[in-house]
Structure 1
Amino acid sequence: MSNSKPLLLRAACGESVDRPPVWMMRQAGRYMQVYRDLRDRYPSFRDRSENPDLSYEISMQPFRAFKPDGVILFSDILTPLPGMGIQFDIIESKGPIIQDPIRNIDQVSSLRKLVPAESMGFVGEVLGRLRESVKNEAAVLGFVGAPWTLAAYVVEGKSSKNYSIIKSMAFQEPDLLHKLLNHFAESIAIYLRYQIDSGAQVVQMFDSWAGQLSPIDYDTFAAPYQKKVVDLVKETHPNTPVILYISGSAGVIERMGSTGVDIVSLDWTVDMAEGCARLPKGIGIQGNVDPGLLFGSPNAIKERIIDTVKKAKGRSHILNLGHGILPGTPEDNAKIFFETGKSINEYI
């Protein structure tokens, strides 16, 4: 094995590569029997994600099974919240529950500055161990939740279908929300710097709920804080590629490209060729195979991957799903996804 940079890192930096690197969002998780067996022994999600031995083991499971080009930290976007003074639980059937939802200025003013080495030392440990284990066979990815999505969780208090509480705050008390978003932007930048210093070579920001905003509100409450995170990280780590992912982002793709990120991750609701055409040439593309396709036949999976890669040809492209791999996905089909991606030059 040469000492050159991993394929995914080279592609993310815009360098010429002989094929698109491939990994999957949520590639460590419920579709894998080995993960479910471990979950049965350790039923608390926070135990699995905050115990460095368990987080490391889960992060490595898909690498051992499929040898993807990227290995992503097993964690959660809410992991930094306790370090700011916000407590949460994750209930297996219900998702995240914020113990004391943030609704007033006193709560925002009392939030602590994040010091990741003190409150999340386990993250740094896991990233370092991953780098040591995968060497240059794969790039190590870190990730965070974007300010809008974190704010949505802590204001709503849980997952939401209509986001009425945070939108009420946005349109009745915008100054309060902006103060919260700014705190999260500064904290998330600190957290990303810590992840990079600990071993992450590429980082992804998930603004999972920003797709629920109209474009005018995206410009007000999401994009400026995404950009602030990127700008702060680039001040200290200018060469670390940053990926931005939003679910349901077809209406804001151009806006995503103007936040300073290096790579825009497309969901599957936009055609890959159209997504590429809507972004400047210098911005890389990640995605965007429908995760539901992995319930299909091997031929259907292969054909869609080939179509996606062909449409992204000429761009810096990281092959991925358009969202996280779904629970219940046959592991053999995940294997087909990875194997087809890694041997794509045989098909195009």
Structure 2
Amino acid sequence: MTTPAPSRRSLDNDLFLRALRREHTPRTPVWMMRQAGRYLPEYRATRAKAGGFMDLCRNAELCCEVTLQPLDRFGLDAAILFSDILTIPDAMGLGLSFAEGEGPQFARPLRSVAEIDALPEPGPEDELRYVMNAVRTIRSALGNTLPLIGFAGSPWTLATYMVEGRGGHDFAKVKALALNEPDAFDRLTARLARTVTQYLLAQIAAGADAVMVFDTWGGVLAPHAYQRLSLQPMQAIVAGIKAVAPDVPVILFTKNGGHHLADMADTGCDALGVDWTTDLATARERVGGRVALQGNLDPVTLFASPERIRAEVARVLHSYGPGSGHVFNLGHGILQQTPPEHAAAMIDAVRELSPAYHVGTPSA
């Protein structure tokens, strides 16, 4: 098992980590999912220089360059590794590619029990070493300025792509396989949980200060199926990380999973991402102060006027209310056509308006 680096490095700006631990902060920290991406002209220039998306992901220096771009532009409170949630199934030999305008695709999607059982478990310092090289390069460039977030896809979300071959709509293939071959599917998610755990521990060892599990497609499952197919494998990941790196915060995020928040809080994670379909006040009531909350401005809000963006930031802050344990973020990734100056308006509003919610030392 990979041995992580010391978890509590001294940072110039540790607001994000303090908020995840529900410690007092003078204001609400802010970062954005997909903050390094196509909405930034500097990112588009770097990607063109790299050639293709996976070429960019495999180049540690260019990964570092695009990771730092939104920090240089906006002065955010955390960096997040530039990578993709599908690096693990790609390393398992399924043939990942990115078609322009069509998203990720796999050349060899899983179709049988035999194919599931033949999958290898890629090593984080072997087939996935390029990711660890990127983490080490970014950590070196950041120095002790800001925390770095590592991440992975959830086992259920990875399985959907591995079976469907691409992002799903009705998810008929993967749901049918889970129903018809439950034992084999459980072996698949268990294998993915082990691999994701080692992958995230390796990112921690390479310099990540917190890790996040993206369960992009957990919200398409019926409640009973969510418990088995999505939540249980994520709980195994949290337990595996905490057994080795107990002080490293773990964030879970299930898109469209607001009705699962109480169960997610029981996994032992430190924070939950909340999308815009669940009010933060409702989310805070459901988790009962057991975890921090991250979110949850609708990404489409950033197409509104700066004045309207400011008003919506105020609404989100008011929804969470006073006290610690809130990380401001979008409810999902920033959209490609977002004007960068509108992202700046959101960040400025958080900085200006949030201190009023952190007067004194209120608890989460």
Q: Same fold by TM (over 0.5)?
A: yes
Gapped regions of structure 1 (runs ≥ 5): none
Measured after TM superposition, the shift of residue 4 of structure 1 is 5.7
The more displaced of 183-192 and 299-308 is: 299-308
The more displaced of 105-114 and 92-101 is: 105-114
Give the counterpart letter for 1:330 in structure 2. Answer: P
- Distance in 1 (alpha carbons) for counterparts of 2:20 and 2:148: 12
- Distance in 2 (alpha carbons) for counterparts of 1:299 and 1:252: 33
- Distance in 2 (alpha carbons) for counterparts of 1:183 and 1:14: 32
* CA displacement, residues 301-339 of structure 1 (integer Å, 9 cap, x when unaligned): 111112212322224010000000001101100111122
Between Structure 1 and Structure 2, how many residues are aligned?
347
Measured after TM superposition, the shift of residue 170 of structure 1 is 1.4
Is the counterpart of residue 57 in structure 1 residue 57 in structure 2? no
Measured after TM superposition, the shift of residue 3 of structure 1 is 5.1
Closer/same/farther in 2, CA of residues 297 and 5 from structure 1, 3 Å limit: closer
- Distance in 1 (alpha carbons) for counterparts of 2:142 and 2:90: 30
Name the SS of the counterpart of 1:123 in structure 2.
helix
- Distance in 2 (alpha carbons) for counterparts of 1:102 and 1:259: 29
- The correspondence of residues 141-220 of structure 1 with structure 2, limited to 5 A, is 141-220=149-228
Is the counterpart of residue 331 in structure 1 residue 346 in structure 2? no
The more displaced of 326-335 and 133-142 is: 133-142
- Distance in 2 (alpha carbons) for counterparts of 1:345 and 1:321: 15
Pick one of 343, 352, 358 that aligns with 1:343.
352
Do 1:83 and 1:116's aligned partners in 2 also have CA atoms closer than 8 Å? Answer: no
Pick one of 128, 131, 135 that aligns with 1:123.
131
Name the SS of the counterpart of 1:286 in structure 2.
strand
Q: Quote the RMSD (CA, aligned, Å).
A: 1.6
Pick one of 227, 233, 242 that aligns with 2:250.
242
Do 1:306 and 1:347's aligned partners in 2 also have CA atoms closer than 8 Å? Answer: no
Measured after TM superposition, the shift of residue 95 of structure 1 is 1.0
Do 1:24 and 1:321's aligned partners in 2 also have CA atoms closer than 8 Å? Answer: yes
* CA displacement, residues 224-248 of structure 1 (integer Å, 9 cap, x when unaligned): 1010011011110111101111111
Pick one of 82, 96, 108 that aligns with 1:74.
82
Q: Normalization by structure 2: what TM-score?
A: 0.91
Gapped regions of structure 2 (runs ≥ 5): 1-9, 358-364
Measured after TM superposition, the shift of residue 155 of structure 1 is 0.6
- Distance in 2 (alpha carbons) for counterparts of 1:115 and 1:23: 30
Do 2:291 and 2:325's aligned partners in 1 also have CA atoms closer than 8 Å? Answer: yes
Closer/same/farther in 2, CA of residues 345 and 101 from structure 1, 3 Å limit: closer
Pick one of 309, 320, 332 that aligns with 2:329.
320
Give the counterpart letter for 2:258 in structure 1. Answer: A
Give the counterpart letter for 1:234 in structure 2. Answer: K
Q: Normalization by structure 1: what TM-score?
A: 0.95
Give the counterpart letter for 2:329 in structure 1. Answer: N
Q: Report the equivalent of 1:91.
A: 99
- Distance in 2 (alpha carbons) for counterparts of 1:231 and 1:269: 28
